[in-house]
Structure 1
Amino acid sequence: MKTLKRKKPRKHPNKIEDRTDDYNIDQFEDLTYLDLIEIENAATGIIYYGYMDDMNNLIYRECSKCEQLKHISCFRPHSEGAHGYRSNCRECNREIDKLGNLRYQMKKKNLPHTLTELDFAKMQLEQKGKCYLNDSTEIHLEHFIPISWGHGGTTYKNCYYMDAALNTSKSNRNPFEWILTQPEHIQKRFYNVLVPTLAARNNMTTNAFEDYVNRCYLDFISKTA
């Protein structure tokens, strides 16, 4: 197979990522007993690495999105994919499916959907992979102004990562009413960290941002009454 240069050359993978949520770590095999192969992405021409056993079964391969080397059980079967599997791992596909669903909802509500992969990475870095309100790492993408209101949209100005349980609790409620039902330490972070962060993204003072959110809420209520 011809060798093509990556868009972003990286060191050769030499360690399987420990992802116990995707597969059992005990299933790992010593890579020295497997054959290294190159898998070319037909769309981009980028070469990814994989490992096959002596029966030509693909055992490990790199995900073309997160670029992590994972067990083949982490990839969905696909008749037209290289060696019969999709190039993106299941975890990355879940994120892609979520984004596709968000785009559909935004289009249906005639709301902007401007978040880019760079924005997602930027939010992760800003929050250090944790929720602003309780430091949880079990986080979901959250819209401060809910989509159901018909305002806001999936934008950097309106989105952040939030603890999964808090996200479910907040739902489509007015965040400034919802926060009053939460413990004091959550309320402090809401007013001292989250609100100033989103207000700054919108080039507003915290008071002006709260007024804006409340106006959006009143508009939503008037249309659903």
Structure 2
Amino acid sequence: MESAQELLDAGFSKTKTAEMIGVHHSKICRLVDIGELEIYLPFDDGDDKHQSKDLYEWLWEEDELEALLWKGYDEGKVDINAVLGERYYSVGRYVQNNYKNFHLFLAQKGFLPLEDNFFKTCSTCGESKQLKNFSKRKGEFVFGLEPQCNRCVEGRVRNNLINNESYKDRCKVVGKKWRDRNKDKLYVYGHIRRARESNLLNDLTTEQLEITKLSFSGCALTGDKTYHMDHVIPLAIGHGGTTYGNMIPLRSDLNISKHCNNIFEWFEANRQRFELSQERFDTLIDWLASANAMTVKEYREYVYWCHANPCDVNDKGVI
């Protein structure tokens, strides 16, 4: 208790004090609430009052955020606008500058499972809505969140697209720049959409796609730097999907030739025609088996089973 009070007297926040003495910060909060610990004010009525307050401003922000978290924990529903009042913008800027957005702040403090307990008031419709209804935004946005809820933003964009020609032109330019910067994302999104339409696995991420590419440094069978991404188990037979362990880089002519065929049978039939290496093929199968948490034998049997048991892509029970 004495060591905690000494740290608070030195100007440390409740959170930092708890961290330094090795207890959960909720314990320090409770002791302060019942009066057994006192918060030190890092300034007095002297001439340097404003200078000192600015110097220790982050302590106040952290304490207010801490109180906000525990209010959300205790009450189950908290509107951050109503709780913070006039301090909403200063605390929000602090979160944006130090945590990027309120979601990352909750994650860092261990409160992310309670995310649905926190609400924010939309600047347009005035309704209090859960944070998931507000898009994350970079730059000078309070709490790192869009001030308007997603519904109001959609309405604004829709109205501008209908009535504002210059806005439409600006959107085209911005859209083209984004597409040029995010070709891998668009590529993944396209394959994910195809798998989703077939009710197949569609959870491939751009990070997993990059890992797959780096694993082969070009076409998986030739090393060529120009290639397509191929579904080892084709979507057309109703198995596999756009998922890690079913996408590999293949040279375009190999990808076209393989089409919807069993990769083992296709390789045996076309190895000499395309002058393919058995060693490269074996390395590819080892990687595919490992990515699917199988042995090589199990993976081979799985591929043959998928081709022997094609499934209607509209069925829900595909594997």
Q: Which residue is 1:176 aligned to? A: 264
Map 1:48-127 onto structure 2 (within 5 A): 79-81=169-171, 84-86=173-175, 87-90=177-180, 92-93=182-183, 95-127=184-216
Q: Which residue is 1:197 aligned to? A: 287
**Are 1:106 and 1:112, in contact at CA under 8 Å, matched by a contact in 2?**
yes
Task: Give the 3-state SS of the residue equivalent to 2:230 in structure 1.
Answer: strand
Q: How many residues end up aligned between the 2 structures?
A: 154
The counterpart of 1:146, out of the listed 224, 234, 252, is 234
Q: Which residue is 1:166 aligned to? A: 254
The counterpart of 2:305, out of the listed 192, 215, 218, is 215
Instruction: State, as a whole percentage, how many aligned pairs show the same letter.
Output: 24
Find the aligned partners of 1:91 and 1:181 in 2 and give their Cα distance: 40
Deviations 1:89-117 (A, max 9, x none): 54745x44433332222122111111111
Could you say if the C-alpha distance between residues 187 and 220 of structure 1 is closer, same or farther in structure 2, counting changes exceeding 3 Å? farther
Bigger RCO (CA 8 Å, 6+ sep): 1
Question: What are the ranges of 5 or more consecutive residues in structure 1 without an aligned counterpart?
Answer: 8-41, 47-77
Structure 1 segments, 4+ long, off by >6 Å, are none
Could you say if the C-alpha distance between residues 96 and 204 of structure 1 is closer, same or farther in structure 2, counting changes exceeding 3 Å? closer
**Residue 44 of structure 1: CA displacement?**
4.3
Partner amino acid, structure 2, of 1:107: R
In terms of fraction of residues, the more strand-rich structure is 1
Find the aligned partners of 2:277 and 2:239 in 1 and give their Cα distance: 24
Larger radius of gyration: 2
**Are 1:134 and 1:163, in contact at CA under 8 Å, matched by a contact in 2?**
yes
TM-score, normalised to structure 2, is 0.42
Alpha-carbon RMSD = 3.3
**Are 1:179 and 1:187, in contact at CA under 8 Å, matched by a contact in 2?**
no
**Residue 190 of structure 1: CA displacement?**
5.0
**Residue 192 of structure 1: CA displacement?**
1.7
**Are 1:143 and 1:153, in contact at CA under 8 Å, matched by a contact in 2?**
yes
Find the aligned partners of 1:205 and 1:172 in 2 and give their Cα distance: 23
Could you say if the C-alpha distance between residues 203 and 183 of structure 1 is closer, same or farther in structure 2, counting changes exceeding 3 Å? same
Find the aligned partners of 2:171 and 2:221 in 1 and give their Cα distance: 41
Task: Give the 3-state SS of the residue equivalent to 1:153 in structure 2.
Answer: coil
Find the aligned partners of 1:222 and 1:113 in 2 and give their Cα distance: 17
Deviations 1:14-61 (A, max 9, x none): xxxxxxxxxxxxxxxxxxxxxxxxxxxx97436xxxxxxxxxxxxxxx
**Residue 194 of structure 1: CA displacement?**
0.9
Deviations 1:96-149 (A, max 9, x none): 443333222212211111111110111122112x11211111111111100111
**Are 2:195 and 2:242, in contact at CA under 8 Å, matched by a contact in 1?**
yes
Deviations 1:144-198 (A, max 9, x none): 1001111011111211111111111101111111112223452504542111110
Find the aligned partners of 1:206 and 1:157 in 2 and give their Cα distance: 13
Find the aligned partners of 1:143 and 1:189 in 2 and give their Cα distance: 21
Partner amino acid, structure 1, of 2:193: Y
**Residue 85 of structure 1: CA displacement?**
4.0
Could you say if the C-alpha distance between residues 122 and 92 of structure 1 is closer, same or farther in structure 2, counting changes exceeding 3 Å? same
